Amino acid sequence: MKLTTKTSLTIIVILAFAVVVTNFLNYYKYQSTLRELVQSRFVVVGLDIKHAIEGSVNLGIPLSQTENTQEILNRVKAGDAQILSVEVFEIAGAKGNRIFGTNAAGIGQEVPDDWVKSAERTDSSNWQFDEDEAFGVGIALINNFNKSIGGVVLRYSRAYQQGKIDAMFQALGQTVLIVFGISCILAFIGVYVFFRPISTTFARMTASLSSLLSDETPILTAENAETPEEKHYAEFQEKTRKVLEILREAEDQGLVADEEKP
Amino acid sequence: MADKSATFVGPIRVRLFSLTIILLLLSLLAVSADALRQFEADLVPEMDRKAVAVGQSLEKQITRGLNYGIPLEKMRGTEEFLDVARKSHVEIKYVAITDRAGKVLFSVGDAPTGLSDHLSESAGEGFPSGQSQAIGEQLLSALPLIAGVETVGGLHVGIDQKFVQNKLEDIIYDVLIVLLVSLLITFELLLFLMTANISRPMESVHMLMSRVEVGDFRQNLAHDSRDEVGRFITTLNGLINEVNGHYMQMQRRVSEFLTLSGPDSAEIRKKLGAHISQLLNRVHFAKDGTPEVVREKSLVDVRTPMFIFIFAEELSRSFFPLYVSDLYVPVPGLTQEMVIGLPISLFMLFVAIGTPFAGIWTDRYGSRRIFLTGAILAIAGFIGTGLAPNLYHLLGWRCMTAISYALITMACQGYIVAMTTAENRAQGMAVFIGAIMVAAICGTSIGGVLADRLGFRVTFFLSAGLALVSAIFVHNTFARHIRDDGDEKPPLRFAHFVALFSNARFAVLMLFGAIPAKLILTGFLFYLTPLYMNELGHSQSEIGRGMMIYFIAMVFGTPIFARLADSMGLQMLPVIAGGLLAGGGAMVLYLWNDTLGVVVGLAALGAGHAMSTAPLISLVPIVCAREIQNIGQTTVLGVFRILERVGSVAGPFLTATLVGVFGSAYAIAALGAIVLASTVMMALFFAAAGVRPRGPAKEAA
């Protein structure tokens, strides 16, 4: 492999490392920002539902008997294609039961214990969870006595976000390829220019050495040597040439002696 | 010779480094600028949707008031209500309610420039919803407020247009870390590349040509590259072989001639003899026509793999105690803090135990084999650590990694010792320490960034990959049979420890100087900094950056302080000043138990160690002049190295105990107090007793 190729490849590997890591940092930042934004939007939607339900509860109506809750949930789901389901659960002892929901089949069923625990936590009014097909946010329902009585849980499409994230990954990837490609070309050109004196010098010295070996007139001499390396080489070549001459002369004489043998 | 190659290599290295910096900066700038453009295009509509959602939520509650018959302008507490909404969403900068003419009735936050024109325009159009407009530095969304069927006003929500840019600015430090690490790696790799491919072969070529110039044709150069330099070396070797071939042929013919020729050829014999003796006076040929093959070695051979291995080891530095706390299981007799410190202490213990054996094995089997064995253990250790299901597995894998660390460091030191003489050994060791420090900067900082995104376990797998790369380097570059041909090193015996500890100066230097220095290093930096910064709410990247301060202070401070100490002929003063600075710096946490305190403490610790580490070692031969005469300097320094690791082992345990009593910040301050008190005691002792042993020093002199 040529010197320029080796050096260019080293620089390219470093560039690749820097560009790829930076790109991943950007990508992860996009992912987290998008997720934060979408999630906070659905928290706002969930808080709206919470305020509507708590308004009724605070008037003394039991949670399970709040009349318009199911209607609100249906309206919210219909208003946003990304919303997969909205449900309201009521805490009874250590368990929670779905009492309203956009998915009729789930009503009356128990909710995961984590939801109940999260709804009863006092340090935060909402929680998040991940499922295979959906992301979700939950918001605690609090009564007049500041006690958790249940929660609103809103599931929204994972595919929507994943689609955007994948598209961004491709877009960023394309930019990286273009930038990286241009940088590689520049690296090759730069390295080629910087290495030209070395490459030329060694090419000339190698050619001259080859001509010396094949008993031809060397192309590099003390007169046309340009760089310090070539000058040093020319000195070396001159001395080597003399030694070779002596050896060849001695060989020739040996040959003459051979021929003169009786 | 070196000067001749420097005419080529020096400027090229500078140019290549500059080219790489420019390309890195331009590439990262282009990638980041494009990311910002794409993020804005993609995230602004999301922000807009959220602004509308917030607006709709506010609008519902205001409409409820309007439906109760409360006029818009008389709604009480509206600004407080709007402010709660604004403060709940960082990207929302401004919320306002206007009357139907667009006059602001209530507003919170910073109004964008050019707002009033926009509001009158929006009022004229009946506050059309679903269309946000860029006004000044904000994107403004409007919603009509309707009482019954009549529009009585408008609600306006302004989002910060620079929100996306600010989000990207969050990672600017991470990108800068990537840039810094890339530049340091560039420096290391270019150094290796230029040395291995140009400097070293050119020096060899110059050496060979100079030998040939004085008539020495007995050597060839070993090389395995096919580049321009490699081709030249091949041709050069060919020439030397040709000359030797001619000589061999001539010798054969002459010998045949002499055997066959009769007495009448005396004239020719004489002529030939004159020719040959004239030639042999000036020229030396290879004995049997085959020149000896010589291979030049370089310290860079050891620097690059060592750099890569330490880089791998340091990747987990910024999060290791946090990883341990994830795998925590109660251990009888130990507090939770002690259990978290246990793997670090055990690692240090196994390094201490393994080092003397590794030294012996390096002498016996050679650096290459020991490095490769160490690398295999390291790869297994890193993978095992990354996969460890609980603390006990983790302890086992860390012990294996510690042994690999001992093997690799001793293999590298052995290589340097074999390649250097007593005169240039210190320079060789500086190369070694330089690689360790630069790798520590890179590993600690980028390790935090990677752990933040990829998780702890994946980062350990990356370490395993890097250890493999270091092994490949060594496999290709380390000479197979290089050994230290110097003096036979006597094995360490218990009697050596007793002999040294009976020297009060050595004992004080050890107990109050070297051990406390290691104690605070492992206790404060390795163990408590990740835990405490995590407690303060910092991300892994930030912890990595924080810890990097120590290594930066060491890298830049060590040569400066070493030169200063040498020029002033001082050894004890820097040791004491360094101890006071390190201890005093950590004590800052007593006053500032926050991030600033940690940063100041780490910077002071780094500067203190930069000041004291090298002079502390150079004090050992002075205070142990008599022992060196008896057991040799290598043994004395070997004992010193092993004993100072007592501090490394004890550091995490002692710190864990202090954390249990005082809490994290005060535990760091307490460590500082211990180091400070030890330094003062050491200073008082040496002020009274003197640095040089009185009686034996004269004998030694």
Q: What is the pLDDT of residues B274-318, one digit of tens each?
A: 767 777 777 788 888 788 888 777 777 888 899 999 999 999 999
Q: What is the pTM of this model?
A: 0.77
> What gap in Å lies between CA B355 and CA B352, rounded to an integer?
6
Do B493-701 and B43-165 fall under one CATH topology?
no
Please enumerate in sequence order all residues whose Cβ is within 8 A of that of B54, keeping only pairs 6 or more positions apart, or say none: A44, B85, B89, B92, B157
Q: Whole-number mean pLDDT of chain B?
A: 85
Domain B43-165 sits in CATH at 3.30.450.20
Question: How close B45 gets to chain A, by Cα (Å)?
Answer: 10
Per-residue pLDDT, A133: 86
pLDDT for res B259: 74
Determine contact, residues A89/A111, Cβ cutoff 8 Å: yes
Give me the pLDDT at residue B634, please: 73
pLDDT above 50 (res B692): yes
Three-class secondary structure of residue B60 per DSSP: helix
Give how far the C-alpha of residue A155 lies from the chain's centroid of Cα atoms, to the nearest Å: 28
Which residue matches tokens 């249906």?
A74
Q: Which of B231-235, B430-434, B550-554 has the largest mean confidence? A: B550-554
CA-nearest of B610, B604, B562 to B580 is B604
The helix/strand/coil state of B422 is coil
**With contacts defined as CB-CB under 8 Å, which chain B residues touch A219?**
none
pLDDT of residue B122: 77
Highest average pLDDT, of A120-124, B445-449, B605-609, comes from B605-609
Around A188, how many Cα atoms within 13 Å sit in the side-chain half-sphere?
7
Buried-state track B599-611, b at ≥16 Cβ within 10 A, e below 16: bbbbbbbbbbbbb
The answer, yes or no, to whether residue B2 has pLDDT greater than 70, is: no
Chain A residues with beta carbon closer than 8 angstroms to that of B250 = 247, 250-251, 254
**Contact residues for B530 (Cβ-Cβ < 8 A; gap 6+):** B317, B318, B319, B320, B321, B322, B543, B547
pLDDT, residue B185, reads: 85
Is residue B48 very low, low, confident or very high in pLDDT (cuts 50, 70, 90)?
confident
Is any Cβ of chain A less than 8 angstroms from the Cβ of B44?
Answer: no
Contact yes or no for A258 and B19 at CB 8 A: no
> With an 8 Å Cβ cutoff, are B19 and A187 in contact?
yes
**pLDDT the model gives residue B479:** 67
Residues B16, A7: contact at Cβ < 8 Å?
yes
Give me the pLDDT at residue B341, please: 92
- Asked if pLDDT for residue B457 goes beyond 90, the answer is yes
CATH class for the region spanning B493-701:
mainly alpha
Is A157 at the interface with chain B, CB within 8 A?
no
Mean pLDDT calculated for residue range A100-107: 87
> What's the whole-number mean pLDDT along residues B63-83?
85
B145's tokens: 């407020």
CA separation, residue A214 to residues A208, B118, B223, B235, B285 (Å): 10, 88, 23, 11, 20
- How high is the pLDDT of residue B490? 64
Contact A260 B268 (CB under 8 A): yes
Residue of A nearest to B202 (CA): A229
The pLDDT score that the predictor gives to residue B698 is: 43
In this predicted structure, the answer to whether residue B272 has a pLDDT above a threshold of 80 is: no
Residues of chain A positioned with their CB less than 8 A from the CB of B182: 14-15, 17-18
Please tell me the predicted confidence (pLDDT) of residue A209. Answer: 85
Whether the per-residue pLDDT at B33 is higher than 60: the answer is: yes
Q: Using a CB-CB distance cutoff of 8 angstroms, which residues of chain A are in contact with residue B168? A: 26, 29
Regarding predicted confidence, which is higher, B489 or B688? B688
Exposure string of B172-202, with b = 16+ CB inside 10 Å and e = fewer, is eebbebbbbbbbbbbbbbbbbbbbbbbbbbb
Select, from the ranges B98-107, B274-283, B341-350, B414-423, the one with the highest average predicted confidence (pLDDT). B341-350
Q: DSSP string spanning B362-407?
A: HHHH-HHHHHHHHHHHHHHHHHHHHH--SHHHHHHHHHHHHHHHHH
- Pairing, β A148-157 against β A83-92: antiparallel
Task: Report the alpha-carbon distance of residue B549 to residue B545 in Å, rounded.
Answer: 7
Cβ–Cβ gap B272/A254 under 8 Å: yes
pLDDT of res. A261: 42
Band (B130; pLDDT cuts 50, 70, 90): low
In this predicted model, what pLDDT tens digit does every residue of B312-356 receive, in sequence order?
999 999 999 999 999 998 888 888 899 999 999 999 999 999 988
Could you tell me the end-to-end alpha-carbon distance of chain B, in angstroms, rounded to an integer? Answer: 39
% residues pLDDT > 70 (chain B) = 93
Angle B425-454/B172-194 helices, nearest 10 degrees? 140
Choice among A161-170, B132-141, B166-175, B654-663 with the minimum mean pLDDT: B166-175
Give yes or no for A47 touching B (CB within 8 A).
yes
- State both tokens at B13: 């290295």
Asked if B109 and B93 touch (Cβ cutoff 8 Å), the reply is: yes
- For residue B669, the model assigns a pLDDT of 94
How much is the ipTM here? 0.80
- Distance of alpha carbon B374 from alpha carbon B317, whole angstroms: 20
Give A251's pLDDT tier (boundaries 50, 70, 90): low
- Asked if the C-beta of B466 comes within 8 angstroms of chain A's C-beta atoms, the answer is no
Q: What integer pLDDT is reported at residue B264 of this predicted model?
A: 66
Give the least confident one: A34-48, B117-131, B604-618, B633-647: B117-131
* Run of H or E residues at B563: helix B540-568
pLDDT of residue A258: 46
In 3-state terms, what secondary structure has residue A117?
Answer: helix
**φ/ψ of residue B149, rounded to 5:** -120, 0
How far is A152 from A138, CA to CA, in rounded Å? 6
Nearest CB to A175 within list B31, B89, B170? B31
Chain B environment of A48 (Cβ under 8 Å): 56-57, 60
CA atoms within 13 A on the CB side of A222: 5
Is residue B247 within 8 A of residue B275, CB to CB? The reply is no
Residues of A in contact with B35 (CB under 8 A): 23, 26, 30, 172, 175
In angstroms, the Cα distances linking B698 to B688, B693, B701 are 19, 8, 5
Average pLDDT value for residue range B599-627: 89
What residue type is assigned to position B147 of the chain?
A
Number of CB pairs, chain A paired with chain B, less than 8 A apart: 258
Number of other residues whose CB lies within 10 A of the CB of residue B353: 17
More confident residue, B227 or B387: B387
**Quick one: pLDDT band at residue B422, thresholds 50, 70, 90?**
low
pLDDT of B5 above 60: no
Domain boundaries, chain B: 43-165, 214-296, 493-701
**pLDDT given for residue B213 in this prediction:** 80
User: Is A24 close to B50, i.e. CB distance below 8 A?
Assistant: no
Handedness of CA B622, B628, B634, B636 (dihedral sign): negative
pLDDT at B262: 65
Contact B283, B409 (CB under 8 A): no
Residue B701's pLDDT band (cuts 50, 70, 90): very low
Considering only the beta carbons, identify the residue of A2, A47, A191 that sits closest to B16: A191
B243: chain A residues, CB-CB within 8 Å = 240, 243-244, 247
β-partners of residue B235 are none
How many whole angstroms separate alpha carbon A222 and alpha carbon A220?
7
Q: Which of A221-230, B91-100, B230-239 bottoms out in mean pLDDT, i.e. has the lowest? A: A221-230
Residue that has been written with the tokens 């989000």 in this structure: B167
